C-alpha cells in the first residue's frame, strides 16, 4: 500500500469532517481531565496539604445549657485570656478560659432585680478584674465580679447597646439614642456626645438595622481613641476623648465589588479589627482606614460573625450566629503563638484544663 506521512491517529480518518470532530472530542476530553485534576489539587490543598488550620476551638451551639448560646453578641477578653460572652437571648454572660472551656455564668436570669439581666448586648472586662455588662433591656450597666456576684450598677441615659472599658477605668457606653456616654472611675458620669444621625437612604438603612438581629454598634477604646462600629450606617468612626470625630470610613472589602456589613471593631496600638457579617470575614485595617489584610474568611470556617477580639495569646476570638446555623464561640490563630506551634490540628478537639489565675495588668496585650 502507499506510504502515508500522516500520523497514525489520522490515517483512519478518510472523511474531511472526521478529523475536526476527532480533535474537538479529544480536546473536550482533555479539558475535562484537566478540570478534574485541578479540583483534586484544590481539595488536597484545602483539606490535606494546608499547613495550619486557623480554627483552634469551636464551642457551643444553640441552646440554654452551660456552654450553649442563643444569639451571642458582645465579646470581651481579659488580660489573662478569659473570654466573656454576652449570651443575649439567654439573658446572661458566660465566661470561658482562653481555650474555650466553660467556667462560670454571670446573671441570675431574666428580670429587673439587681443581678438579673434583660437581653444584654455587650460586656466589657475592667482592669479591676470585674465585668461591666450592658443590661440593655433594663437601661443600666451592672458590674459583676468574676465569680458572678453583683458589685454595683448604675442607670444610663438611654438603653446601652455597646460598652468598653479602658486601662484608665473609664467606661464608654453607646446607647440606642445614638449617644456615647462616658463614665469616670467609680462609674461617675463624665460627658456624652452624639453620633451623627444618618439622613435619607442611610436613615432607612439605620431603621432596618435597629429592627434586625444584627448588633447595631460595637465600641473599643485605648485611652487615646474610641473606635465605634456603626452597623446602622455601615461605617467605622474614630473619636478622641473630647468627642471629636477624627475619622469616618466605610470599610473596604477584601475583594472589589463586595458590600460590607461591619458588626464589630477592636482596637490595638496600630490596627483596627473589623468583623464583616455579610462576607463572613474579619479584616485588619490601619488607623487611617486603609485595608491591611484579611485575617479570617469562609475558608477558615468563619460564619456569620458578630464580634471579633484580639486575645493576649495572639489569637482571634469571635462570636457568630445565624437564624438556622451555629450559635457559638470560635477561637482562631492570628499572630504566631507558642501555645499551638507544635500541636496537631486535631488539638482543637482536646479537652483543655482551665488556666491558672494571675494578677490582672492594666493593659490588654494585643499583636502589634
Measured between alpha carbons, how far is residue 240 from residues 18, 172, 220, 222, 245 in Å? 77, 12, 12, 10, 7
Nearest to 87 by CA among 115, 118, 111: 118
Whether 6 is in a domain gets the answer no
Q: Which of 119-128, 150-159, 290-299 has the lowest mean pLDDT?
A: 290-299
Measured between alpha carbons, how far is residue 269 from residues 167, 239, 244, 281, 287 in Å? 13, 15, 19, 21, 9
Q: Taking 60 as the threshold, does the pLDDT of residue 309 lie above it? A: yes
CATH number, residue 232: 2.120.10.30
Q: Taking 50 as the threshold, does the pLDDT of residue 49 lie above it? A: no
Q: Taking 60 as the threshold, does the pLDDT of residue 365 lie above it? A: no
> Mean of the pLDDT values across residues 266-295?
93
Using the CB atoms, write b or e for 216-251: b if 16+ within 10 Å: bbbbbbbeebbbbbbbbbbbbbbbebeeeeeeeeeb
The domain containing residue 257 runs over which residues? 55-195+202-333
pLDDT tens per residue across span 220-248? 999 899 999 999 899 999 999 999 999 99
User: Do the beta carbons of residue 263 and residue 231 sit within 8 Å?
Assistant: yes
Please compute, for residue 67, the number of CA atoms within 13 A of its CA located in the half-sphere on the CB side. 10
The residues that bridge with 245 in the sheet, in sequence order, are 239
Q: How confident is the model at residue 52 (pLDDT cuts 50, 70, 90)?
A: low
Q: Taking 90 as the threshold, does the pLDDT of residue 273 lie above it? A: yes
Copy the grid coordinates of residue 255: 475583594
Whether 79 is in a domain gets the answer yes
Q: Report the pLDDT value the prediction gives residue 344, as an integer from 0 to 100.
A: 47
> Mean of the pLDDT values across residues 27-31?
68
Q: Taking 80 as the threshold, does the pLDDT of residue 129 lie above it? A: yes
Q: Taking 50 as the threshold, does the pLDDT of residue 34 lie above it? A: yes
Q: Report the pLDDT value the prediction gives residue 229, as an integer from 0 to 100.
A: 96
> Mean of the pLDDT values across residues 205-229?
74
Cα 156 to the chain's mean position, in Å? 26
Q: Report the pLDDT value the prediction gives residue 278, as an integer from 0 to 100.
A: 87
pLDDT tens per residue across span 153-165? 999 999 999 999 9
In the chain, the percentage of residues whose pLDDT exceeds 70 is 74
**Helix (H), strand (E) at residue 108:** none
Whether 267 is in a domain gets the answer yes
Nearest to 166 by CA among 228, 96, 224, 216: 224
Whether 212 is in a domain gets the answer yes
Sign of the C-alpha dihedral computed for residues 343, 349, 351 and 355 taken in this order: positive
Whether 341 is in a domain gets the answer no
Whether 3 is in a domain gets the answer no
Q: Report the pLDDT value the prediction gives residue 346, as an integer from 0 to 100.
A: 43
Q: Which of 12-16, 126-130, 282-286, 290-294 has the lowest mean pLDDT?
A: 12-16
Q: Report the pLDDT value the prediction gives residue 354, as an integer from 0 to 100.
A: 40
Q: Report the pLDDT value the prediction gives residue 253, as an integer from 0 to 100.
A: 76
User: Do the beta carbons of residue 252 and residue 260 sit within 8 Å?
Assistant: yes
Can you tell me which residue has the cell 460627658?
Answer: 191
Backbone angles phi, psi at 208, to 5 degrees: -65, -40
Q: How far apart are CA 36 and CA 42, in angstroms?
A: 10
Q: How far apart are CA 351 and CA 249, in angstroms?
A: 42
Q: Report the pLDDT value the prediction gives residue 314, as an integer from 0 to 100.
A: 93
Q: Taking 50 as the threshold, does the pLDDT of residue 48 lie above it? A: no
Whether 1 is in a domain gets the answer no
Whether 235 is in a domain gets the answer yes
Cα angle, residue 156 at apex, residues 150 and 158 outer, rounded to 5° = 135
Q: Which 8-state DSSP code applies to residue 69?
A: B
Q: How many helices (H) and strands (E) does the chain have?
A: 3, 24
Q: How far apart are CA 213 and CA 271, in angstroms?
A: 27
Q: Report the pLDDT value the prediction gives residue 368, as an integer from 0 to 100.
A: 39
Can you tell me which residue has the cell 478534574?
Answer: 36
State the total domains in the chain: 1
Whole-angstrom Cα Rg for the chain:
26
Q: How confident is the model at residue 126 (pLDDT cuts 50, 70, 90)?
A: very high
- pTM above threshold 0.85: no
pLDDT tens per residue across span 172-205? 999 999 999 999 988 999 999 999 865 654 555 5
> Mean of the pLDDT values across residues 336-355?
51
Can you tell me which residue has the cell 462616658?
Answer: 182
Indicate the average pLDDT of the chain: 83
In three-state secondary structure terms, 34 is helix
Copy the grid coordinates of residue 362: 492594666
In three-state secondary structure terms, 47 is helix
212 vs 325, residue with greater confidence: 325
Nearest to 120 by CA among 75, 79, 151: 75
Q: How confident is the model at residue 53 (pLDDT cuts 50, 70, 90)?
A: confident
Amino acid at each position: 500500500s502507499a506510504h502515508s506521512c500522516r500520523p497514525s491517529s489520522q490515517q483512519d480518518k478518510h472523511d474531511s469532517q472526521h478529523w475536526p470532530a476527532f480533535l474537538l472530542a479529544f480536546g473536550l476530553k482533555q479539558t475535562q481531565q484537566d478540570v478534574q485534576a485541578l479540583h483534586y489539587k484544590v481539595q488536597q490543598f484545602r483539606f490535606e496539604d494546608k499547613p495550619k488550620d486557623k480554627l483552634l476551638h469551636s464551642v457551643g451551639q444553640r441552646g440554654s445549657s452551660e456552654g450553649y448560646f442563643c444569639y451571642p453578641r458582645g465579646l470581651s477578653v481579659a488580660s489573662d485570656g478569659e473570654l466573656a460572652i454576652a449570651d443575649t437571648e439567654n439573658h446572661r454572660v458566660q465566661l470561658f478560659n482562653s481555650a474555650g472551656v466553660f467556667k462560670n455564668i454571670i446573671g441570675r436570669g431574666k428580670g429587673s432585680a439587681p443581678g438579673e439581666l434583660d437581653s444584654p448586648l455587650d460586656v466589657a472586662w475592667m482592669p479591676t478584674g470585674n465585668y461591666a455588662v450592658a443590661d440593655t433591656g433594663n437601661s443600666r450597666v451592672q458590674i459583676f465580679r468574676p465569680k458572678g456576684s453583683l458589685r454595683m450598677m448604675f442607670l444610663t441615659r438611654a438603653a446601652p447597646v455597646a460598652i468598653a472599658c479602658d486601662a484608665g477605668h473609664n467606661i464608654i457606653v453607646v446607647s440606642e439614642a445614638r449617644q456615647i456616654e462616658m463614665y469616670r472611675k467609680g462609674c461617675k458620669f463624665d460627658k456624652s456626645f452624639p453620633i451623627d444621625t444618618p439622613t435619607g437612604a442611610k436613615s432607612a438603612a439605620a431603621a432596618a438595622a435597629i429592627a434586625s438581629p444584627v448588633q447595631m454598634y460595637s465600641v473599643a477604646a485605648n485611652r487615646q481613641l474610641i473606635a465605634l462600629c456603626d452597623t446602622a450606617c455601615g461605617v467605622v468612626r474614630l473619636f478622641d476623648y473630647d468627642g471629636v470625630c477624627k475619622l469616618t470610613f466605610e470599610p473596604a472589602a477584601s475583594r472589589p465589588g463586595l458590600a460590607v456589613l461591619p458588626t464589630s471593631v477592636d482596637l490595638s496600638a496600630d490596627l483596627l479589627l473589623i468583623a464583616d457579617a455579610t462576607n463572613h470575614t474579619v479584616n485588619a485595617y490601619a488607623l487611617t482606614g486603609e485595608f491591611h489584610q484579611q485575617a479570617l474568611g469562609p475558608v477558615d470556617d468563619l460564619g456569620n460573625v458578630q464580634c471579633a477580639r484580639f486575645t493576649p495569646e495572639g489569637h482571634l476570638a469571635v462570636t457568630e450566629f445565624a437564624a438556622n446555623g451555629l450559635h457559638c464561640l470560635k477561637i482562631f490563630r492570628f499572630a504566631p503563638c507558642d501555645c499551638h506551634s507544635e500541636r496537631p490540628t486535631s488539638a482543637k478537639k482536646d479537652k483543655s484544663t482551665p488556666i491558672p489565675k494571675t494578677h490582672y495588668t492594666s493593659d490588654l496585650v494585643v499583636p502589634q
